[in-house]
């Protein structure tokens, strides 16, 4: 069964460093998302992406964050200068069509900022 | 107004019993209400979802009850099994308005005891 994959599973970085989290969505999906989950808290929307541009972003997704689909398969989230409060699980999700359809989530990347 | 409130925070149910988790929302634009199941170290996985044009949806042991006037919906797990032990999140989105990000509840940690 097709699935969303994410790498790395765990990333440890120093405050102020740049990190890139990678996702490979399901191959025929067209809509891509990043969510994050701070330990013990709810899952929060960060950004949605369609047709090579951002569709919507939350207030969390400030200038330190960016997303890119550098090729036909990868979808990346970059945090330019990490802060302690960026420590969280980051989930990528994808969906095949607009106006409905399940969002399939990847297993997540645990980001730890020291 | 974008919040989805979920209760209880944790729930312990005996094997074979009924598990009930409740959610409430304020935004009347929400028109899609999924429930996600999350096991430790995994991403959320869609369990069951409902649109507001029906008051109930059943899939196997899982049922969503939806009360549009009260802006509430709930998940019922019949004949609860130890394998159902997980964290459950309700969510909502406003597909009709092109706003397809998921707004999640705070989660319920369900434990099924023998």
Interface test with A, best of B21, B44, B105, B107 (most A CBs within 10 A): B44
Would you mind telling me the total number of residues written for chain A in this entry? 114
Give the domain range for residue B71: 4-113
CATH number at residue A105: 2.60.40.10
| Count of domains observed in chain B | 1
CATH number at residue B64: 2.60.40.10
Query: Could you read off the pLDDT of B84-103 as tens digits, one per residue?
Result: 999 999 999 987 655 588 99
Query: Could you read off the pLDDT of B60-84 as tens digits, one per residue?
Result: 999 999 999 999 999 999 999 999 9
Say yes or no for a CB contact (<8 Å) between B100 and A31. yes
A50 touches chain B (CB under 8 A): no
**Residue A56: its H or E element:** strand A53-57
CB-CB contact of B110 with B22 (8 Å): no
- Stretch B26-53: mean pLDDT, rounded? 92
- pLDDT surpassing 90 at residue A14: yes
Confidence class for position A98, pLDDT limits 50, 70, 90: low
How many CB atoms are located within 10 Å of the residue B85 CB?
17
- Stretch A10-17: mean pLDDT, rounded? 97
What are the C-alpha distances in Å from A92 to residues B10, B50, B58? 26, 23, 28
A26 touches chain B (CB under 8 A): no
Taking phi over 0 as left and psi of -120 to 50 as alpha, with beta for the rest, B16 belongs to: left
CB-CB contact of A113 with A83 (8 Å): yes
pLDDT the model gives residue B42 = 87
Query: Could you read off the pLDDT of A46-71 as tens digits, one per residue?
Result: 999 988 899 899 999 999 999 999 88
Give the domain range for residue A26: 5-113
Confidence class for position B41, pLDDT limits 50, 70, 90: confident
What is the Cα–Cα distance from B20 to A110, expressed in whole angstroms?
30
Say yes or no for a CB contact (<8 Å) between A44 and B44. no
What is the Cα–Cα distance from B41 to A109, expressed in whole angstroms?
10
Confidence class for position B24, pLDDT limits 50, 70, 90: very high
The closest CB to that of A105, out of B43, B95, B96, belongs to B43
A39 touches chain B (CB under 8 A): no
- Stretch A18-44: mean pLDDT, rounded? 93
What is the Cα–Cα distance from B71 to A87, expressed in whole angstroms?
33
| Count of domains observed in chain A | 1
Convert B37-60 to b/e letters by CB count within 10 Å (16 or more is b): bbeeeebbeebbbbeeeeeebeee
């Amino acid at each position: 069964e097709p699935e969303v994959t994410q790498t790395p599973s765990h990333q440890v970085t120093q405050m102020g460093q740049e990190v890139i989290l990678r996702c490979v969505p399901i191959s025929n999906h067209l809509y891509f998302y990043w969510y994050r989950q701070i330990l013990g808290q709810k899952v929060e929307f960060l950004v949605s992406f369609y047709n090579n541009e951002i569709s919507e972003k939350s207030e969390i997704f400030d200038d330190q964050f960016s997303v890119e689909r550098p090729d036909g398969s990868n979808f990346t989230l970059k945090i330019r200068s990490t802060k302690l409060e960026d420590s969280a699980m980051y989930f990528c999700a994808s969906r095949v069509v607009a106006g409905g359809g399940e969002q399939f989530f990847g297993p997540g990347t645990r980001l730890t900022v020291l | 107004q974008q919040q989805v409130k979920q209760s209880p925070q944790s729930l312990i149910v005996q094997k074979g019993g009924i598990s009930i988790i409740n959610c409430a929302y304020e935004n009347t634009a929400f028109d899609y209400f999924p429930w996600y199941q999350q096991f430790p170290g995994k991403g959320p996985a869609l369990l069951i979802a409902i649109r507001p044009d029906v008051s109930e949806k059943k899939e196997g042991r899982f049922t969503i009850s939806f009360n549009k006037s009260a802006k509430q919906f709930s998940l019922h797990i019949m004949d609860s099994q130890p394998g159902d032990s997980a964290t459950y999140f309700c969510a909502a989105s406003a597909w009709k308005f092109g706003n397809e990000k998921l707004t999640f509840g705070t989660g319920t940690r369900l434990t099924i005891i023998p």
